[in-house]
Amino acid sequence: MAIELKAPAFPESVADGEIAAWHKQEGESVARDELIVEIETDKVVMEVVAPEDGVIEKILAAEGETIESEALLAIIQPGAVASAPAPAAQSPAQSATIDDNDPALMGPAARQLVEEHGLDASQVTGTGKGGRITKEDILKYMKTAEAAPSAAPVPAAAPVQARAVDVPPGPSSERIEKRVPMTRMRARIAERLLDATQQTAMLSTFNEVNMAPVMALRSKYKEQFEKTHNGTRLGFMGFFVKAACEALKRFPEVNASIDGSDVVYHGYQDIGVAVSTDGGLVVPVLRDADFMSLADVEAAIRDLGLRAKDNKLTIEDMTGGTFTVTNGGVFGSLLSTPILNPPQTGILGMHKIQERPMAVNGEVVVLPMMYLALSYDHRLIDGKTAVQFLVAVKDLIEDPARILLQL
């Protein structure tokens, strides 16, 4: 009995999806749990695997087609074996002669030279992609034609014709542009970022933090931490996530969200961690981060980051979040203003650690400093609250023992 291959059930926050790629085609054999098709939604790329061994009898949704939750994608015949492939059909290049005068096979610059000099493009060998004739091909042909002896003798009295002037090739024969549609994820990211700037009263405040205490602590216990916690490395993000959790407890407005005309205060800290992937920026969430140890935070961040880069995140990993931490410093950013992730009302931006001369007790000392940025929704959070929140994070980082002691 044939098996119906259906799309997964989408959560309420995802209306539909798009067929991103078929990894198997009609008539091909599939093994149980083998990847067959990828579906791209607004948030993640979902993988659909084969429920049993068999052969794909018919594909019902083409690549690029928009589908709904639990839509029928393909029909699989269980236990069947794919038939031997038919002899390869003769390629168009073998069965028919390509018309070299076809404008589609010439670039604009090459076409212009052909028209100006009345050349027969079928005599020109194209060296571009797919046999495409380039400007350099035309110029080379013209130069060769001029150097070749004329087939017919030229009468002595005949006037000497003016010799065509060679046009030196430019730095590039063509200036190529490529237009591709946005992926669903990129389009959704663009939409949300635009909404954040247009529908919130977003404002940013800045401070700087001395990273020397955290760096000294990390240097002292890095190897021991990694051995004790099964290879989990001690980074900087864990300190900032824990510092943010403590600061959010003191300033609940920063951990709140706006729902219509209501303010929703969250009694928990679900921290979103921004991760850059090839498909765009995603923000997986650390659930109940306030109850996680530093090692748990670091391990969870690493796991989410690896799964994000492999497109293995689920909708549940991306849903929710009461506050976000992003680190542009890993790419070398010295200072930026992060954009809110609605409906959240605050986002903390970390940046590059850079040594700078600082005045300490009347003396100039070179210290590893980091700029911090807090973007917040001014509709809910006053400037005083935002500044005090950022100062609290700064104090906790400059004296990491406060995080453990909750001071």
Report yes or no on 339 lying in a domain: yes
Report the domain count for the chain.
Answer: 2
The structure tokens listed for 253 are 């407005």
User: 330-348 b/e with 16+ CB inside 10 Å = b?
Assistant: eeebeebebbbbbbbbbbb
Last residue of a domain, one of 78, 103, 126: 78
Local confidence pLDDT in tens for the 407 residues of the chain: 788 888 888 766 566 788 888 888 888 888 888 888 888 876 677 788 888 888 888 888 888 888 888 888 888 888 766 555 545 444 444 443 444 455 546 665 677 677 777 788 788 887 765 676 777 778 788 878 776 654 444 455 555 555 555 655 556 567 888 888 877 777 877 888 888 888 899 999 999 999 999 999 999 998 999 899 988 888 899 999 999 999 999 999 999 999 888 999 999 999 999 888 877 778 899 999 999 999 999 999 999 888 888 878 888 888 889 999 999 888 889 999 999 988 899 999 999 999 999 998 899 999 999 999 999 999 999 999 999 999 999 999 999 888 877 66
User: 288-302 b/e with 16+ CB inside 10 Å = b?
Assistant: ebbebebbebbbbbe
CA 307 to chain centre: 13
CB 49 within 8 A of CB 31: no
The torsion region of residue 110 among left (phi > 0), alpha (psi -120 to 50) and beta comes to alpha
Q: What pLDDT does 129 receive?
A: 55
The reply to whether 71 and 219 lie within a common domain is: no
Cβ-based burial of 220 (10 A; exposed 0-12, middle 13-18, buried ≥19): exposed
The reply to whether 71 and 208 lie within a common domain is: no
DSSP three-state, residue 139:
helix
Of 290, 378, 395, 399, which one is the catalytic site residue? 378
The reply to whether 258 and 391 lie within a common domain is: yes
CB 95 within 8 A of CB 69: no
Of 102, 166, 310, 382, which one is the catalytic site residue? 382
Report yes or no on 8 lying in a domain: yes
The structure tokens listed for 9 are 């059930």
Q: What pLDDT does 307 receive?
A: 87
The reply to whether 71 and 214 lie within a common domain is: no
Q: What pLDDT does 392 receive?
A: 95
Domain containing residue 27: CATH number = 2.40.50.100
Q: What pLDDT does 272 receive?
A: 92
Report yes or no on 307 lying in a domain: yes
Pairs from 121-127 (Cβ < 8 Å, separation ≥ 24): 124/100, 126/100
55: closest CA among 112, 127, 123, 3? 3
Q: What pLDDT does 95 receive?
A: 41
Q: Which residues contact 367 (CB under 8 A, 6 or more apart)?
A: 210, 211, 212, 355, 356, 358, 360
φ and ψ of 264, to 5 deg: -105, 115
CA 389 to chain centre: 31
Domain containing residue 338: CATH number = 3.30.559.10
Q: What is the DSSP string of 62-131?
A: -TT-EE-TT-EEEEEEET--PPPPPPPPPPHHHHS---TT-GGGB-HHHHHHHHHHT--GGGSPP-SGGG
Last residue of a domain, one of 35, 61, 78: 78
Distance CA 236, CA 97 (A): 64
Distance CA 56, CA 2 (A): 10
The structure tokens listed for 199 are 């529908």
Report yes or no on 145 lying in a domain: no
- Name the one residue in this structure whose structure tokens are 């009302």: 345
Structural domain containing residue 55: 3-78
Last residue of a domain, one of 78, 104, 125: 78
**Cβ atoms < 10 Å from Cβ of 33:** 10
Length of the chain: 407
The reply to whether 206 and 345 lie within a common domain is: yes
Q: Is 382 among the residues known to form the active site?
A: yes
Q: What pLDDT does 158 receive?
A: 52
Distance CA 136, CA 126 (A): 9
The one-letter code for the residue type at 332 is G
